[in-house]
Structure 1
């Protein structure tokens, strides 16, 4: 713009910014500079986006170098997802108002990050350096920091002032690095007492770090090499709510009775995938969810759990528990405990003294061979019971074993050694799974009164049409899904309930489908007859024409004859002739 023009604007009292705006408009109209993200002026780097509020976004534009001459008033700078290898301290020093610096997912090395890089950033609150190639942390970071993310680097060393002397610091992310005990200073958070979140998972630590910040409420130390928790390591963490210690090498010898006792606010404790042989003593009363799976726990003593009055979820699967190793009073007084996982242990029977208010009990994949009359006599609130893949036989399930389970909705007895459907199922069941047994008969009365049953799974058994008592299905007035795949049925079962929507009969020996096979099931949506022995002529359109809700009819993989009018003997002879011709060709 000519000098006279500027003078005229000044005389008219118009701001200089207006002149800049006019120039930008003029350039755009003439197709001058290349298109770039919207920016307030010429100081915005190429391909970056700049706002009047001081936000500069240069993320994901394949930058090889730190951009030069950034606007001095920048307060939020995004440089993530580039290929930057080096930072120039003098360029950063210009950005004295910078509050957020995002450099994650670049190629920064410790050599390319000088010690004085952040020295003059006296307003920096948020620093993101995750997914780079740093081997040592910066010796100094501004004391204004609120959050620092160094995850997924190659860090082996932290310095005293990396995170120390930062009263505003709230969260530190150091997971997926190569940190060992020797690489941490004794007072890593000296003067940074307000840190609430510390993530140090997936490193090489053998001991819990010393002098942890007292304000912590979330501490991640999983997937390290932890062998021991030093005495008093958690004694000052009264506000800690979540503690993750899974996938380490912790044993009972590596902790004592007071290790966790002072964690009075602890609600979530994960000790899974360690080397525990018993449940640690001295666990605090406010734990809600306790992970102890994938250890080598053999016993549950009387007093190790009873003080945890707020316990709701107890996960003990994949251990070495036997029923006799569980004290009959081990769960006494745990009135909030509603979910217990005991699967993949070596239980030979149902343990005594199960929690009285348990709603979900998972005891699958054990060695249970019998269910006695009073095994579930006190678990009135049970809603889901999984006993699949044990060693149960029909005679060893007492007819009155489930009599008190009036709220039971789901029962799974799949993968056992049942030869007949047992008696005595609770009448309020909604889901019953009996698949992968040896069931060859459904005796009269075994399904009586189960008017709320919606799903019945009987696949992969040895059922035949005449081994199911008449009117068996009529009694299941709410049944929506019936799975009888992989049995020995030769025809569609008769008298299916009116409520049925899905019928699974694949992998049977069905040869014919009568015209009235589905008269009793007007609501049916899916019929699965794949891999049977149904000839083309055996299926008539009239069989399905009144099924207004039918969406899926699967008849793939059945026997198909070229001429449906031929009789069975002619068809068999034709097939034999074809086989002989094929054998001659092979010779």
Structure 2
């Protein structure tokens, strides 16, 4: 990302260019793909294409998303990752058809997350990783349809109970945050019991309480397996996923493969 100043002058997107960037997805949805176009300002001309189902503005140099983005009333999928955005518009909360929102790898701070995000009642995937968040708004706990949440690589020291207790949460990525060793681990342990995938750090980075509970769970599982088979076997934690390095993480892992309600 560019440092300081106004940055380079970006590519101008005309309505004609935008129309040529509309693609039909495998499931028949209209996607406007303007990723990796060197865009510095949100192209207002695309508001005339507000019947698209998906909008990809990722990997550009956009600093501000206008309130007028709410004109995309049919949008189900919005990808804004890898830009310079430090604040999301309040009108984003009006886009209640959204199922997927990726704003990772930006410059978002906690105050840049509008309260209105709690109106996205249908959203299933929310990626806020690689930003500058020092806390997570508890109001996000109102998003009861959330299946996947990305909070990795921020400045978080705790996770609100309202997030960890989301009823449909299946994947939670909280890697590389400065959680203090004194952080109570009960919330995380309760969350682990319900998740299909939890992205973890290495054991050397775990707090003593978390490490102790993981060891106890491992020993208990080994004991059960030994009683069942009569021979010791290596414990397999099928629900604990060790991710690749950040450089190899694929943004497509956060895309909903099926957007059917």
User: TM-score over 0.5 for the alignment?
Assistant: yes
Q: Residues 133, 64 of structure 1: CA spacing in aligned structure 2 closer, same or farther, 3 A cutoff?
A: closer
1:250 corresponds to which residue?
A: 179
Unaligned stretches of 5+ residues in structure 1: 1-62, 79-97, 273-291, 306-313, 315-325, 338-354, 360-376, 386-587
Q: Is the Cα contact below 8 Å between 1:232 and 1:259 reproduced in 2?
A: no
Q: Is the Cα contact below 8 Å between 1:233 and 1:259 reproduced in 2?
A: no
Shift of 1:125: 1.0
1:146 corresponds to which residue?
A: 76
* Corresponding residue SS for 1:127: strand
2:205 pairs with 1:295: yes
* Corresponding residue SS for 2:22: strand
1:269 corresponds to which residue?
A: 198
* Corresponding residue SS for 1:188: helix
2:87 pairs with 1:124: no
2:16 pairs with 1:66: no
Q: Is the Cα contact below 8 Å between 2:146 and 2:168 reproduced in 1?
A: yes
* Corresponding residue SS for 1:356: helix
* Corresponding residue SS for 2:126: strand
Q: Residues 229, 255 of structure 1: CA spacing in aligned structure 2 closer, same or farther, 3 A cutoff?
A: farther
2:31 pairs with 1:181: no
Please give the root-mean-square deviation of Cα atoms over the aligned residues, in Å. Answer: 3.6
Q: Residues 169, 64 of structure 1: CA spacing in aligned structure 2 closer, same or farther, 3 A cutoff?
A: closer
1:193 corresponds to which residue?
A: 121
Q: Which digits, 9 at most, give the CA deviation of each residue in 1:243-276, with x for residues without a partner? A: 111110113544564566478742222342xxxx
Q: 1:241 aligns with which of 170, 190, 196?
A: 170
2:171 pairs with 1:171: no
- Aligned mates of 1:133, 1:300 — CA distance in 2: 39
* Corresponding residue SS for 1:294: helix
- Aligned mates of 2:65, 2:188 — CA distance in 1: 30
- Aligned mates of 2:150, 2:54 — CA distance in 1: 20
1:425 corresponds to which residue?
A: none
Q: 1:134 aligns with which of 62, 65, 83?
A: 62
Equivalent residue pairs, number = 217
Q: 1:229 aligns with which of 156, 159, 175?
A: 159
Q: Is the Cα contact below 8 Å between 2:52 and 2:75 reproduced in 1?
A: yes
* Corresponding residue SS for 1:266: coil
2:232 pairs with 1:382: yes
* Corresponding residue SS for 1:198: strand
* Corresponding residue SS for 2:91: helix
Q: Which digits, 9 at most, give the CA deviation of each residue in 1:346-392, with x for residues without a partner? A: xxxxxxxxx21469xxxxxxxxxxxxxxxxx999443459xxxxxxx
- Aligned mates of 1:238, 1:261 — CA distance in 2: 12
2:139 corresponds to which residue?
A: 211
- Aligned mates of 1:208, 1:234 — CA distance in 2: 11
Q: Is the Cα contact below 8 Å between 1:231 and 1:259 reproduced in 2?
A: no
TM-score by length of structure 2 reads: 0.68
Larger RCO: 1 or 2 (CA < 8 Å, sep 6+) = 2
Q: Is the Cα contact below 8 Å between 2:15 and 2:46 reproduced in 1?
A: no
- Aligned mates of 1:104, 1:195 — CA distance in 2: 22
TM-score by length of structure 1 reads: 0.33
2:39 pairs with 1:108: yes
Larger radius of gyration, structure 1 or 2?
1
Q: Residues 130, 69 of structure 1: CA spacing in aligned structure 2 closer, same or farther, 3 A cutoff?
A: closer
Report matched runs for 1:500-579 at 5 Å: none
Q: Is the Cα contact below 8 Å between 1:238 and 1:263 reproduced in 2?
A: no
* Corresponding residue SS for 2:49: coil
Q: Is the Cα contact below 8 Å between 2:152 and 2:173 reproduced in 1?
A: yes
